[in-house]
Amino acid sequence: MFAQSTVTGTVKDAETGETLVGVSVMLKGKSLGAVTDVNGKFTIKVANANETLVFKYISYASLEVPLNGKNNIEVKLRSENKSLNEIVVIGYGEVQRKDLTGAVGSVNVEDLQKAPVASAIEALGGRRGCRFHQKVENLALV
């Protein structure tokens, strides 16, 4: 059995150097993960110093980063040229709008950017058709 260690890091935009909020950080092949905070920082526990982390963020190319024994990393994600008018983001992947069956709602990006919140999820909260469930230390928030 391996002793768990903690890996920390920061995720930034490769072109601008700005930190990215809400990036999904997952252990490759496992369901354990984390999300970057308002400063683009994340912390995740790993059982093996040679794990690979997978970084995913809307409109950015996914990136796999082998830890190779490092416990602090800086990741730079590259923007993808996908039009959000053609892509529908769902809780477990992406689908082209033409291939989706069911109701689809639209959100105006400018309205989200004007919202005084720390993350995109907070900006979507309370909008018609958007419902999120987050569990924090045995306290369910809906």
pLDDT higher than threshold 80 for residue 134: no
Q: Which of 39, 33, 83, 37 is nearest to 53 (CA)?
A: 33
Cα separation of 88 and 124, whole Å?
15
Domain ranges of the chain: 5-77, 87-137
> Any idea which architecture 5-77 has in CATH?
Sandwich (2.60)
Which segment, 16-25, 104-113, 119-128, is predicted with the most confidence on average? Answer: 16-25
pLDDT tens-place string over residues 62-94: 999 999 989 999 999 998 865 555 555 555 556
